[in-house]
Structure 1
Amino acid sequence: DVSPLGVNNCCCFKTDPRDSQKCPSTTKEAAEPTPSSNGVGIRVFTGDLELERPDECPFGYIKCCYDTYEEIQEVEKLADKTCLPLESNTQVESTEQWQQFCSEGTNVRQPQENKQCGERPGFYTIPNLPHGMASPEEFPWMCGIFDRNNQYLCACVIVPENFNNDITRGTSLILTVAHKVVNHNPGDLKIRMRDHYLCKDFKAPERQKFIDYDVDSISIYPDFSPERFNNNLAAIKTKGTIDTTQNGINAACLPTCGEMFDFTFQNGTGTRCWISGWGQDQNGHGLTPYLQKVDVPMYNTNRCRLRVREEIQKILPDTNIQLHPSELCAGGELGKDACNGDGGAPLVCQSESKRWFVMGLVAWGVDNRCGEYDLPGIYVRLSYFKDWINALSSKSDSAPKATALAGGELETGGIMPRDEIPVIIRSGI
């Protein structure tokens, strides 16, 4: 039988530093534990974006197996410990049929087209990469924003010019979080694509050289709140069109509806999507030299609203923070999360047609905490900005210019934008 806590009555107990190799037991020793080899804060897979099932425990926990689920309950009571679920992919385990909640539009491939948005033709996984490393060109829509001194600023995503998802003529549109670029002029920045490794002394199996694009304009969503970090979107136009026919470069599709991947399985887990980024792990080890990846489930908005408020009120009891319609939630699994340094990184989900759609951008989290159980991260909900993005692309007379900022209605106590690392706030570098 499969227990509510794990696979075949196995689950994860936090290790005792005095005796880290033993599982708690009742009257007899439990099954031999399997210590976890996962020492990184962001739980990532070494394979392709296809679903995998690691059945592992997070760092600091050991795998303990018992004869029955009732024995687990008895052990929990006697040891005064909670046995956490094994990390496993609910979309693999579930017998339910996953459903997509809206169609992918009418953009159909023409015979002369090389590829559509959200595709990765020619991509293959490089074997035996370090744990958590994405293969080069695995995320062809991934980009980074750098200053003129080649200092990394934040992550970004290549998308079609508007929500019709047509890239027949390429694209010049880049999306990222507003709080990272609002104080920069277009001439200060450049967009780097196909750059898998930030540190060039790292011996990397990159197949293509990175490409830089100059920035023509930066548009900040008019209602962006620099105090609360809602409406947190910036649209950047590159000088020149990005050639999406090149190997290792493509746009992620924009969602055709806000609820496109809102399906929830009977066990309460949402659709599993992916984040990629150069951010630090939960132990605060700084930016990683290579692009990482991690799978996270979409997280119910109502549940997220309650959990985020609950955790922030532990820091600021009088705060009554509410999620904004421009925000969505994902994650809540132990050891699997975006973290500081991942601000602006795309959250992508795979559709029925196997194309990849960007649903959100890494925005903020509670305090300086990453990868905690039942504590999701907050993302910019891109579907909320459909009309604004479409309006930008329709301006043929001149590129959109940066807009003035609007004041925020809430203080940022408890919110950490995932980049700078203030005392209470968390975000992304």
Structure 2
Amino acid sequence: MEVILVLLVAVAAVSGCGEPSYQPSTSRVVNGQEARPYSWPWQVSLESFFPTCGGTLIAPNWVLTAAHCITFHTYRVVLAEHDMNKEEGPEQFIMVEKMFIHPKWNDNCVSCGNDIALLKLETNAVINDKVQPACLPQHGAALAHNQPCYVTGWGRLYSGGPRATALQQALLPVVGHTTCSRSDWWGSSAKTTMVCAGGESKSACHGDSGGPLNCEGSDGQWYVEGVTSFVDGRGCNTPQRPTVFTRVATFIPWISATMAQN
């Protein structure tokens, strides 16, 4: 039986999407580094009594996150966050009005998939140079093996290590489904409704849950292609166990219908 560790909490189709005013630093291959402030302007910190997960702004009043992140009744999101230990000025704090967990999510079976949720905010975020939505991929869009994408978040810097205080980014090349579903990789735990990326020294870690897998499209815009879901139970950086993300392109009909009806 595969040992899976959900990335637990630690104790859009809109115009002008995916175009950060502050360009992210993507020039070198790294295992992880502090992100340029506000270069991922759709990155959200999801908080209840304390920061729990990440999320992605996909419209002024909608945030995409992981279903397994939703364990409390009351949440707020923080936009334009960089250093969690400082209030730097541009942050926006908005309460979550409604939470929509995918109807097929089973919290006893993370490898069954459907680890995705939508949060409707009480008020619209103010879109500015530090807060902008990410683009949503087209329904069914596929990522190429080895396509460069970036995971972002404030999760642990390594298994058992401290949580980051400043937003981190790491280059995670996509691992194609044919490879990721091999028996010596994730096997049957890797579904076509998921995206595998990274592996070995490059990984998401605890606290990154719900945050985006950011992939640049051929149009130069950034798309949220994945929602950070789980890693191997032996640790965040286990060889041949890349980070597994919910594949956003699979869930576009559900996302669109939920937003339209609410």
Q: State the TM-score, normalizing by the size of structure 1.
A: 0.53
> Which amino acid is 1:323 matched to?
A
1:176 corresponds to 2:77: no
> Which amino acid is 2:115 matched to?
N
1:326-365: CA deviation from partner (whole Å, max 9, x where unpaired): 2121112x31111112111100111122110010011001
1:3-82 map, 5 Å:
none
**Structure possessing the higher relative contact order (Cα contacts under 8 Å, 6 or more residues apart):** 2
1:147-194: CA deviation from partner (whole Å, max 9, x where unpaired): 1x4x1111111013xxxxxxxxxx21101111111x322xx1101111
Larger radius of gyration: 1
| One of 197, 209, 218 as aligned partner of 1:352 | 218
1:82-93 map, 5 Å:
none
What is the CA distance between 1:321 and its match in structure 2?
4.1
RMSD of aligned residue pairs (Cα, Å): 2.3
Compared with structure 1, are the counterparts of its residues 252 and 222 closer, same or farther at alpha carbon in structure 2 (3 Å cutoff)?
A: same
1:296-375 map, 5 Å:
296-307=172-183, 310=184, 321-332=188-199, 334-375=200-241
CA contact (8 A) 2:232 2:238 kept: no
Tell me how far apart the structure 2 counterparts of residues 290 and 122 of structure 1 sit (CA, whole Å): 16
Q: Which runs of 4+ in 1 moved over 6 A?
A: none
SS in 2 for 1:335: coil
CA contact (8 A) 2:90 2:130 kept: no
What's the counterpart of residue 93 of structure 2?
Answer: 212
1:154 corresponds to 2:53: yes
SS in 2 for 1:158: strand
CA contact (8 A) 2:177 2:192 kept: no
What's the counterpart of residue 121 of structure 2?
Answer: 238
Tell me how far apart the structure 2 counterparts of residues 343 and 368 of structure 1 sit (CA, whole Å): 17
What's the counterpart of residue 192 of structure 1?
Answer: 78
Structure 2, unpaired ranges of 5+: 1-11, 26-31
* Count of residues in correspondence between the two structures: 243
CA contact (8 A) 2:22 2:38 kept: no
CA contact (8 A) 1:359 1:381 kept: yes
CA contact (8 A) 1:347 1:359 kept: yes
Compared with structure 1, are the counterparts of its residues 286 and 243 closer, same or farther at alpha carbon in structure 2 (3 Å cutoff)?
A: same
CA contact (8 A) 2:179 2:185 kept: no
Tell me how far apart the structure 2 counterparts of residues 122 and 342 of structure 1 sit (CA, whole Å): 22
What is the CA distance between 1:302 and its match in structure 2?
2.0
1:293-349: CA deviation from partner (whole Å, max 9, x where unpaired): 100111111211125xx467xxxxxxx8443332121112x3111111211110011
Tell me how far apart the structure 1 counterparts of residues 101 and 24 of structure 2 sit (CA, whole Å): 36
**If each structure's strand is expressed as a fraction of its own residues, which one has the higher value?**
2
What's the counterpart of residue 33 of structure 2?
Answer: 132
Tell me how far apart the structure 2 counterparts of residues 122 and 346 of structure 1 sit (CA, whole Å): 18
1:254 corresponds to 2:136: yes
Structure 1, unpaired ranges of 5+: 1-103, 110-115, 126-130, 161-170, 265-269, 313-319, 400-429
What's the counterpart of residue 7 of structure 2?
Answer: none
How many percent of aligned residue pairs carry the same amino acid? 24
SS in 2 for 1:296: strand
